[in-house]
Amino acid sequence: MKEKLATRVRQLKPSATLAINAKAKALKAQGIDIINLSAGEPDFDTPEHIKEAAIKAIREGFTRYTPVAGIPELREAIATQIQKDYGLSYTPEEVVVSCGAKQALFNLAQALFEEGDEVLVLAPYWVSYPPIVELAGARPVIVPSEKENLFEPELSALERAITPKTKGLILNSPSNPTGQLYSQNFLKGVAELAKQHGFFIISDDIYDKLRFDGRGPENILTVAPELREQTIMVNGVSKTYAMTGWRIGWAVGPKDIIAAVSRIQGQSTSNATSIAQKAALEALCGPQDCIVEMREAFKRRATLLYQKLKEIPGLDLPKPQGTFYAFVDFSAYYGRQAPGGTTLEDSLTMCDYLLEEAKVATVPGIAFGDDRCLRISFANADEEIEKGVSRIGEALKKLA
Ligand SMILES: Cc1ncc(COP(=O)(O)O)c(C=O)c1O
């Protein structure tokens, strides 16, 4: 028999974040008292008025194929939102609606990158960026950063990573997993490099409404609007409106790139779900107070988690500036022994230990390109956060 699976699939790792979340949920289902601090989604329910819009769409029979790139009124609403948030002018033809920001990113990579290309990925990075680049045949080039610099890479390191093969760079601010924002200076520096070397920028703005500094959304185009022809913005309703299961995201950028993304989508999944598009339309056009409520809750929990973690000797982290994640350096405990005799030597063994001993689920930093850290999510009730951190502290005390 011939080799069953294609090479690209044999090399493909499953998403570590989805895997740990599934493991935590399975243990919980067995009745084990797990505190799940691994989740990559808001713990809030989708707001009622959004659900109602979807129910109305079903009742009215809005259950057929839609145009591949999305219903015109949603594409229009997204363009209007971009104008409001970033002060940038786009037409609906420059917007494509996909099945989540993840599919928008996947399709964009298929449209832009190929064999021989290099794509700059800033570590710590969202787990799916490297595989998405690799599935397009290109090579991710990882640029590291340090927590002391709030996980912002040195511009000089970024410049050194650029070669004639560099075709793109992916930005994510606020960032999953670090919860940090890139500074304006950094964004300006990246913009200069993009201009000089002509590569494309994918700006993943999925957490742009979840920044805690009270300032409006900001991305590479707000500091360098002249990069419009080589930048594509990606966003969606998942994180902003607690709509992860609805699977609506989008890409906004130059018309020819967006048309290419639509062609790819037209030969693979076609349109995003008709009903979910109506819900997303209501999310964008309806009352916006739900965003403020959720953001304020995340902001309060960020402080709570940060303060609690700082009480544990040896743990180190910058205070989250946005999202619902903290990226915490546990490496001071590496080399120590668990009661069973296992030596904790990296983020994977540390995560396993915390799940077994403390019954707390976190995500190993190695999945995000930094083995010193674990990602701890604060998309959870205050009491759960407090209990989770105190259990982590107790488990760490048991290490020899
Ligand atoms: C940085 C980042 N980009 C994109 C996504 C994908 O979001 P969606 O649910 O819209 O596919 C996520 C979800 O975890 C994310 O953290």
Average pLDDT over residues 15-37: 85
Atom of ligand 1 nearest to the CA of 323: 16
pLDDT of residue 18: 75
pLDDT of residue 340: 87
**How far apart are alpha carbons 229 and 111 in whole angstroms?**
15
Cα of 221 vs centre of ligand 1, distance in Å, is 20
Cα of 233 vs centre of ligand 1, distance in Å, is 13
- Provide, rounded to the nearest whole percent, the portion of the chain with pLDDT above 90: 92
Return the residue whose CA atom lies nearest to atom 14 of ligand 1: 40
The model's confidence at residue 243, banded by pLDDT at 50, 70 and 90, is very high
Q: What is the pLDDT of residues 44-101, one digit of tens each?
A: 999 999 999 999 999 999 999 999 999 999 999 999 999 999 999 999 999 999 999 9
C-alpha torsion angle, residues 271, 219, 378, 272 (rounded to 10)? 0
pLDDT of residue 149: 97
Binding site membership of 321 for ligand 1 (Cβ less than 6 Å): no
pLDDT of residue 180: 98
**How far apart are alpha carbons 186 and 97 in whole angstroms?**
29
Answer yes or no: is pLDDT of 111 > 90. Answer: yes
Average pLDDT over residues 253-263: 98
- Average pLDDT of the chain? 96
CATH of 63-285, one of 3.30.70.360, 3.50.50.100, 3.30.1330.120, 3.40.640.10: 3.40.640.10
Residue 29 β-bridge partners = none
Answer yes or no: is pLDDT of 15 > 80. Answer: no
Answer yes or no: is pLDDT of 20 > 90. Answer: no
| Cα 307 from chain centre | 24
Binding site membership of 249 for ligand 1 (Cβ less than 6 Å): yes
Q: What is the pLDDT of residues 140-175, one digit of tens each?
A: 999 999 999 999 999 999 999 999 999 999 999 999
pLDDT of residue 76: 98
pLDDT of residue 25: 84
The model's confidence at residue 287, banded by pLDDT at 50, 70 and 90, is very high
Return the residue whose CA atom lies nearest to atom 16 of ligand 1: 176
Average pLDDT over residues 196-217: 96
Binding site membership of 208 for ligand 1 (Cβ less than 6 Å): no
Q: Given ligand 1 and candidates 46, 122, 171, 176, which is best to mutate, with the most ligand atoms within 8 Å of its CB? A: 176
Domain borders along the chain are 7-45+290-397, 63-285
Q: Given ligand 1 and candidates 21, 121, 206, which is best to mutate, with the most ligand atoms within 8 Å of its CB? A: 206
Average pLDDT over residues 259-279: 98
pLDDT of residue 144: 97
Is the backbone peptide bond immediately before 124 cis, with ω within 30 degrees of 0? yes
Cα of 102 vs centre of ligand 1, distance in Å, is 6
Average pLDDT over residues 189-200: 98
Binding site membership of 238 for ligand 1 (Cβ less than 6 Å): yes
Answer yes or no: is pLDDT of 388 > 90. Answer: yes
What superfamily does domain 7-45+290-397 belong to in CATH?
A: Aspartate Aminotransferase, domain 1 (3.90.1150.10)
Binding site membership of 85 for ligand 1 (Cβ less than 6 Å): no
Average pLDDT over residues 249-274: 98
Cα of 343 vs centre of ligand 1, distance in Å, is 34
The model's confidence at residue 16, banded by pLDDT at 50, 70 and 90, is confident
Half-sphere exposure of 67 (CA within 13 A, CB side): 14
The model's confidence at residue 327, banded by pLDDT at 50, 70 and 90, is very high
**How far apart are alpha carbons 328 and 308 in whole angstroms?**
12
Binding site membership of 317 for ligand 1 (Cβ less than 6 Å): no
Binding site membership of 40 for ligand 1 (Cβ less than 6 Å): yes
pLDDT of residue 94: 98
pLDDT of residue 11: 82
Answer yes or no: is pLDDT of 189 > 80. Answer: yes
Nearest CA to 49 among 292, 295, 283?
283
Binding site membership of 380 for ligand 1 (Cβ less than 6 Å): no
Answer yes or no: is pLDDT of 21 > 90. Answer: no
